[in-house]
Amino acid sequence: MTRFAQSTAIFRMNAQLNIFEEKIQEDNYTAESYTGIYGMHKYWSKKPYNIIRTFIKKYSTPEDFVLDPFSGSGISVIESIVTNRKGIGFDINPSAVFITKQVLNKISSFQLSKEYQRIEKEIKSTINSFYEVKRNGSVYQGTHFLWENDVLSEVWYQNGTRKKVTDKSTQNDIQFANSFKYEDIKEFFPTDKFYHNSRINARGNQRIFELFTPRNLKALALLMSEIEKTQDEKIRDILKFCFTSSIGQASRMVFVVKSRGKMNGEIESDKKEVGSWVIGYWTPKENFEINVWNCFENKFSKILKAKKLQEKAQYEVREAKQFVDLINSNSNFLLLNEPAQIGLKNFPDNSVDYVITDPPHGNRIPYLELSMLWNSWLKKSVDYENEIIVSEARERNKDIDDYNRLLNQTFEEIQRVLKPQKYFSLMFNSLDDQTWINLISKLHSLDLDLIKVETLEYSANSVVQDTRKAGLKTDFIITFQKQSNLNKQPLEILNKKDNKQFIKAAIRKLFIKSDVNSFETYQILNHLFRHFLSQNQFFNISDALDILSEDYHFTHNKWQPKNNIYAANISDT
């Protein structure tokens, strides 16, 4: 290409960019962290409730039907109710639906406390007796036990003044801890076998119960059997929810955080602190065994506090059993533990007013495998076959083709059930070319008009943020409007060889028009998405990142121009 032709091409492109960028303005969304009812139970990739609320208010009106086909911990369903809409959630994960129902259910905190006290009276002292620590003829209450390579090395206990004492383990402590045996436990505990998946540290020859020491397993099995005796179903479920919320911390997955600390004013020593279970099934060589009653009690007090506040909340929750109930009665939410691509087939055409959803993102989080910990204790049966996921567990045969096929089926159903002119907001996060190209191509082929591309931050305490080099710190949220007869041009996937200069110029435009001289990966990709999608074009994310690294340095998590790339004319080709 001659210099002149090159400059003309760039000029034309810049003109197009100006038009599109004026059309789309960025809203500023700041994520709030999960407290209150949203902080009661862990779930991976929970969305910031305040931003979900903003979207629901923006794209729907009171009394509307709001659908989330991948509702996870249920934030969109709950926010639909809070904003006076009717919320519909699907999730294939029984734990996800269970968590959502427990968050939603308004119960009497008085009755809940009363039942907790009954359980406390029945088994607290038995459970605590499992953790007794004997020193100099006195018996103390053990709280934490440090294991190194399966040998008990340290015990933490409380003396009379509730002061924490840390001590080396004695022969007596070791013998006592080792006297608990899996085979002696009479009460129910789960024996489900893992799918082998090294990505989440799950070994195929391991079973769920091995995540716990025999002593903690005995305590948990006792606790669950006592919870099962609760008469009132709603209260029983909340107590089970409290149980599943606390079991990660009662497992051998709790690692040791070491930091240099000062002891006795002067001497520096290694201070050991208690980590927490985050994701996956890694049982570190050095791990804590925490008193099961304490884990349960801690969670219970948080949940009780949130439930007390919820009692005063204005909204009512009325569950529907099927879609027609939502239409014909005053019920305001429907939760279905079904695969969305199948369950949505029971919904009529043009029946939903807004869809907001966050599907599984490729291979990032194998929800069902991770939730085996909860589902197995709750005795839930699980439909692994229909999960939309890419899993490294070979025996599951869940590859990218299966993922794309099932996700595409769900998109078709979403388009079918969405009313004409109504909106669909899709949250997504991936750096994988094939995943994006499938997603964008499928959506482009449907009666959906792209309205807006924005970015969505995670909450400050999210555990799934991508922290890899140049990883995406945000999700993208892409909003479509259902329109028939769109007469769209076919989507063109740009190849790197012929289109490098266009991608370069689009990136350059972002830097030139802005006051700042560095951008994060997501900001650049967001800009490229808006630019190219508006022209019915899309690109490989990896090409864009390659092209980016030719002219920009990646330092302190941001891209900055290398020397003089804007000086003189362009060396794009």
Ligand X SMILES: C[S@@+](CC[C@H](N)C(=O)[O-])C[C@H]1O[C@@H](n2cnc3c(N)ncnc32)[C@H](O)[C@@H]1O
Q: Which spans of this chain sit near ligand X (rule: CB under 6 A)? A: 43, 45-47, 69-70, 72-73, 75, 90-93, 96, 339-341, 358-360, 367, 386-388, 406
Residue number, 91 or 210, with CB nearest to ligand X: 91
Residue 318 beta carbon to ligand X: minimum distance, rounded to whole angstroms: 22
To the nearest 10°, report the CA torsion of 278, 283, 287, 293: 70
Residue number, 245 or 287, with CB nearest to ligand X: 245
Name the residue number minimizing CB distance to ligand X: 72
* C-alpha span between 331 and 339 (Å, rounded): 22
Residue 157 beta carbon to ligand X: minimum distance, rounded to whole angstroms: 38
CA 157 to chain centroid: 35
Give 314-375 as a 3 state SS string.
Answer: CCCCCEECCHHHHHHCCCCEEEECCCHHHHHHHCCCCCEEEEEECCCCCCCCCHHHHCHHHH
Q: Starting at the edge strand that comes first in sequence, how are the strands of the sheet with 65-68 ordered?
A: 319-320, 333-336, 86-90, 65-68, 352-357, 418-428, 474-482, 448-457
* C-alpha span between 114 and 108 (Å, rounded): 10
Checking DSSP bridges between strand 448-457 and strand 352-357, what pairing results, if any? unpaired
* C-alpha span between 410 and 405 (Å, rounded): 9
Residue number, 415 or 501, with CB nearest to ligand X: 415
Look at residues 469, 391, 465 and name the one whose alpha carbon lies nearest to residue 429.
465
Residue 42 beta carbon to ligand X: minimum distance, rounded to whole angstroms: 10
Give exposure, 477-511, as e/b (b: 16+ Cβ within 10 Å). bbbbbbeeeeeeeebeebeeeebbbbbbbbbbbbb
Element (H, E) at 513: helix 496-513
Residue 48 beta carbon to ligand X: minimum distance, rounded to whole angstroms: 9
Residue number, 67 or 96, with CB nearest to ligand X: 96
CA 560 to chain centroid: 31
Residue 564 beta carbon to ligand X: minimum distance, rounded to whole angstroms: 43
Alpha helices in 367-480 (DSSP H): 367-370, 372-377, 400-417, 433-445
Residue 338 beta carbon to ligand X: minimum distance, rounded to whole angstroms: 7
Is-contact 324 73, C-beta < 8 A?
A: no
Residue number, 31 or 340, with CB nearest to ligand X: 340
Residue number, 114 or 405, with CB nearest to ligand X: 405
Residue 190 beta carbon to ligand X: minimum distance, rounded to whole angstroms: 19
Residue 386 beta carbon to ligand X: minimum distance, rounded to whole angstroms: 5
* C-alpha span between 490 and 440 (Å, rounded): 12
Residue 208 beta carbon to ligand X: minimum distance, rounded to whole angstroms: 18
Residue number, 47 or 527, with CB nearest to ligand X: 47
Residue number, 51 or 119, with CB nearest to ligand X: 51
Phi, psi of 551 (to 5 degrees): -110, -5
Residue 99 beta carbon to ligand X: minimum distance, rounded to whole angstroms: 8
Residue 317 beta carbon to ligand X: minimum distance, rounded to whole angstroms: 18
Residue number, 317 or 388, with CB nearest to ligand X: 388
Residue number, 48 or 190, with CB nearest to ligand X: 48
Q: Radius of gyration (Cα) for the chain, nearest Å?
A: 27
Residue number, 72 or 87, with CB nearest to ligand X: 72
Retrieve residue 147's tokens: 């294991």
Retrieve residue 227's tokens: 């919870």
Residue 151 beta carbon to ligand X: minimum distance, rounded to whole angstroms: 38
Residue number, 138 or 381, with CB nearest to ligand X: 381
* C-alpha span between 434 and 74 (Å, rounded): 28
Indicate the residue type of 514: S
Torsion-angle region of 123 (φ positive above 0: left; ψ -120 to 50: alpha; else: beta) = alpha
Residue number, 96 or 223, with CB nearest to ligand X: 96
Residue 445 beta carbon to ligand X: minimum distance, rounded to whole angstroms: 20
Secondary structure of residue 380 in the 3-state scheme: coil
Q: Which residue has the tokens 């709950």?
A: 78
CB atoms within 10 A of CB 557: 13
